[in-house]
Structure 1
């Protein structure tokens, strides 16, 4: 088994899906928690000047989604067919778009803000369109499992629950989406995921 070292800030952010994947895979890793005041001095040490970075046997790799896709393949958390993986990638892309739209409306750098018009557009236009699509994907899963694809959890399910955790800062925002709420409950109740959520450090963002 390779030795894994995750470099990321003391927040959920773009590192949380990676942590979810290690939990789901039952794989041990170490984490270098970077404090924000220390980041300017450490930034030049990373090839792209960005975090997260995952070291695999000492070799560093950037980009959270590239890392996540790799770990999913390593831990058996991809789909069973190329078409399954295509659909997972589509859902992941929609989740990333929603994440960026939500953050644009609610954050200025690392600080909270509230842009009323951007938040309204997110809640009333962007979210219904993309969550409507994702709910159709889940409901259309021919296995009836309640997962994004197939009859087992994949990394697409983890990306989706991570997104829900982010946007649920507005508790009412998920209320209209019955399929996604049921999906979230199902995935978060899986033993390895439930154990991770119960024991993870309390991080606001």
Structure 2
């Protein structure tokens, strides 16, 4: 994988009005079910998305499992208002083929590539089963994303009051309003650290007071409508998936049996961020926990996880 600033590349003429981009070129190992003839006539692929896993990660994982090279172009959030005018549906991700055809919508792209690369089942019934799993996971993923992003796709911010206790009997408590980005909470929560806010009071002398807390519940409280919606959706979806997995091979293999499919990749990608936010999310679902470990141990996925570009979300 090569992480590269392409502002001076030959593509600059075509995208110079679109804002700054970064490009990741993936060159994974070939996958066994695509023969030489198929590879020789396969189009060039370019994936446009923000610099994050988000809705594009399942697509990147499809490329990784299939062993297909592609250009991974990442759009800065600050440039999105300009860039979106050039994207169909004014949304990301978008898959571009041969610098000509553009396909929007994450699940449309994922299904198209899964069909192209043999990851979408062998019969209409298998495809329907994969669709039901993917659509259910997409519901869960959408509810999770709504907790963190605004209507323009930007990381949300929140504000809250912090009261710093007095340092001594003659000192007074200090109350200030703190504005913080959700992404900061998320990063610190992932590292299992405490987010520390430095309160600067020019009238005081000596060490400045600090206030530390998880603060995640203040950003998106347990009683908030968004949180409740996500909890209800995840409970329904995960219960359905656990039972679905149990019906086939007693839940000891992939969703479709011996071979990994789009359903498995969607399951892994859609739950990455929710599991970072709540590591116990699958604690009541032993078969899904085993499936996640099985997917992580897949040779192509394991290799991809080692080289993929690390992002906070």
**TM-score, normalised to structure 1's length?**
0.93
Q: State the distance in 1 between where 2:252 and 2:288 align.
A: 13
- Cα–Cα, structure 1 residues 83 and 142, in superposed 2: closer, same or farther, change >3 Å? farther
- Cα–Cα, structure 1 residues 196 and 170, in superposed 2: closer, same or farther, change >3 Å? same
Q: Which runs of 5+ in 1 are unaligned?
A: none
Deviation, 1:146, is 1.8
- Cα–Cα, structure 1 residues 133 and 44, in superposed 2: closer, same or farther, change >3 Å? same
Q: State the distance in 2 between where 1:46 and 1:105 align.
A: 25
Deviations, residues 135-163 of structure 1 (Å, cap 9, x unaligned): 11111114865211232110010000112
Larger radius of gyration: 2
Work out the number of aligned pairs and report it.
204
1:133 and 2:240 correspond: yes
SS of match in other structure, 2:272: helix
Q: Which has the higher strand share?
A: 2
Q: Give 1:37's aligned residue.
A: 78
- Further displaced range: 97-106 or 153-162: 97-106
1:114 to 220, 223, 228: 220
**TM-score, normalised to structure 2's length?**
0.62
Q: State the distance in 1 between where 2:57 and 2:229 align.
A: 26
1:103 and 2:209 correspond: no
2:294 to 166, 171, 186: 186
Q: Which runs of 5+ in 2 are unaligned?
A: 1-41, 157-181, 183-218
Q: Which has the higher helix share?
A: 1
- Further displaced range: 98-107 or 158-167: 98-107
SS of match in other structure, 1:5: strand
1:13 and 2:54 correspond: yes
Q: Give 1:80's aligned residue.
A: 122
Query: Contact 2:143–2:229 at 8 Å: present in 1 too?
Result: no
SS of match in other structure, 2:48: strand
Q: Give 2:110's aligned residue.
A: 68
Q: State the distance in 2 between where 1:167 and 1:187 align.
A: 17
SS of match in other structure, 2:271: helix
Kindly indicate whether structure 1 or structure 2 has the higher relative contact order, using CA contacts under 8 Å at least 6 residues apart: 1
1:56 to 97, 108, 128: 97
Q: State the distance in 2 between where 1:114 and 1:41 align.
A: 30
- Further displaced range: 168-177 or 100-109: 100-109
Q: State the distance in 2 between where 1:119 and 1:143 align.
A: 32
